[in-house]
Amino acid sequence: MKYIYQVARIFTGVLFIFSGLVKLNDPAGFSIKLNEYFDVFAQDVSTKQDSVKITCSVNQKELINQTFTIYAFDKIKKVDWHINPTKNDFPPPSMQYEVFGQWGGASFISEGYIPPPAKTATFQISIHNQIIHRQIETFDTSNSGIKDFEFDVDLSKYAKQESWLFGFFKDCKAYSLYFSIFFCALEVILGFAMIIAWRMNLTLCITALLILFFTFLTGYSAYFNKVTDCGCFGDFLKLKPWDSFKKDLVLCVMIILMYLGLKHYKGLFDRKKGSQVMLVLTILTFVFGYLCYIYLPVWDFLPYKKGNNIKSILKNVPTGQRATDSIVIKFVMQKGNDSMKVSSTKYAEVAAKGYTFKRQDRQVVLEGYKSPIHDFAIFDQVHGIDLTDTFLNSNKIQILFVMPFIETAYTESMNEVAEIALWAKKKGYQFYGISSASLSPAKAFTEKYKLPFTLFAADQKMLMTMARYNSTLYLFNEQTVINKWSARNLPNLSQLEKELSKE
């Protein structure tokens, strides 16, 4: 049995070092995963809120019937709704009326139309069947212009306060990077401690607590299907929740074996020398994690790594994989209080019996292949132009300056960024600055730092995948990544010329 105990120690130690280093190599990536867990826990402990029901009838025909959840932070909600004359081409072509509007940032739009003349409209907001706002408008539709209505709703007495636990998990997100570096470094340190058999009682106690914690996380994720990838091995290896949970159960068995074999473990160093070795390893481990954060990962497992062609990855579908999801579409039809869900082949038959279309339900039967890069998009907010195809079809050298969040971006190197942008323009290269900021903050940022380019918009998740440090500079040959740099370590113009000379 003593050999089994030794194998358990070495196996667990090596696995801990490997798992910790892979994640510590990309601490920003693991912090994103921790944020997912914090969001899930916050959602699960959140106070159940009431919902508001919005209805709107025109000429006594109901066009809007939607519900929206109230949030704890809701106090005054801005509501606007509009009656819009629109040309309906199916069939026959005619001018009809629809209703649309916004509840805060959420939109609603009518599922049907009202033929002219539209004379009265009733807009109503209720909670638990109690009407909190009712508005009746009478108008003359001989003037075909849009009718606009806007008001504020006081929700302060309906929004329930969240528990301290909800606030705790939300507040943890601000420290996710620190948690990431700490937990990843702790894995590596414990792994080294097991390999050299340093103070095994203490090492096993900490290891047991860590594994129990992660077993709970992976078990929770698997059972409730909350986080579909635990991030145990970062982007190097994606594990499904149940596989992660099984892995942690195996580690629990390893820990039990190590406890049973404690008397068989003899440290490679005496206690004083072992403590000194562990101190050095601990310092080196934390330094490694910090440097990987500010200067980008040493081993890049991301889809935007050096040498990858974004366009090829977007279009590539591996052999044997489905290009798209297999979807079954059902139509919900209603006649009075009776409703039914039918397939497209039964649609005409049911419609002939007086049933009208209410909504369409789509169910995914077989999932298609999900490309590692599936959300790449660049949008010019100033002119309302989608620049994605421009980037993907360019035959020029292209430079992307990526800032996921302008509020927390590293700004000490903005003069260098401006210099690179001017150099790129002079050379005839395409330069894109992209962030998740809306138009006004983006414009204010470029003006503040006197940047000679417009900040375009992109999806926040895409940007966080591209820029593990906020911000990151990419150099492309057409759509292929030549190199990328953290804003802490930007190349000078001669270095950029040297990179391009290799192509």
What is the chain's mean pLDDT, rounded? Answer: 87
Higher pLDDT, 270 or 94: 270
User: Which residues are within 8 A (CB) of 179 and not within 5 positions of it... i.e. 6 or more apart?
Assistant: 31, 34, 172
Q: What is the pLDDT of residue 88?
A: 57
Q: Give the angle subtended at the CA of 111 by the CAs of 109 and 112, to the nearest 5°.
A: 115
Contact 250, 214 (CB under 8 A): no
Cis preceding-peptide flag for 92 (omega within 30 of 0): yes
385 — phi, psi (to 5°)? -120, 135
For position 429, what pLDDT does the model report? Answer: 95
The C-alpha atoms of residue 64 and residue 60 are separated, in whole angstroms, by 12
Q: What is the DSSP string of 232-277?
A: TBTTTB---HHHHHHHHHHHHHHHHHHHHTGGG---SS-HHHHHHH
Q: How far apart are CA 361 and CA 372, in angstroms?
A: 27
Domains, the chain, in order of start with CATH, read: 2-44+167-294 (no CATH), 51-154 (no CATH), 326-366 (no CATH), 379-501 (3.40.30.10)
Give dist(CA 303, CA 238) in Å, integer. 13
Rounded to whole angstroms, how far apart are CA atoms 456 and 145? 34
pLDDT confidence bin for 236, thresholds 50/70/90: low
- pLDDT digits 0-9 by tens, 7-48: 999 999 999 999 999 999 999 999 998 998 899 888 888 888
- Does residue 305 carry a pLDDT above 80? yes
Predicted confidence at residue 261, as pLDDT, reads 87
**Sign of the torsion formed by the C-alpha atoms of 212, 214, 218 and 221:** positive
Which residue intervals of 295-413 are DSSP H helices? 310-315, 344-352, 388-392
Q: 172 CB contacts (<8 Å, ≥6 apart)?
A: 34, 38, 179
ω before 117 within 30° of 0 (cis)? yes
Provide the token pair at 256.
């039990």
d(CA 406, CA 287): 26
Closest by CA to 233, choosing from 30, 460, 5, is 30
Q: Which residues, including other chains, have CB under 8 Å from residue 471's CB and lie 6 or more apart? A: 401, 402, 403, 404, 409, 410, 487
Query: What's the pTM?
Result: 0.77
Residue showing tokens 């414009």: 443
Q: Tell me how far apart the alpha carbons of residues 219 and 239 are, in angstroms, rounded to a whole number.
A: 13
Measure the CA dihedral 8/10/11/16, to 10°.
Answer: 120
Give the dihedral of Cα atoms 442, 443, 447, 451; nearest 10 deg.
60
CA–CA distances in Å: residue 391 to residues 113, 256, 400, 407, 432: 40, 55, 10, 26, 9
Secondary structure (H, E, C), 178-198: HHHHHHHHHHHHHHHHHHCCC
Q: What is residue 95's predicted lDDT score, i.e. its pLDDT?
A: 67
> Does 116 or 262 have the greater pLDDT score?
262
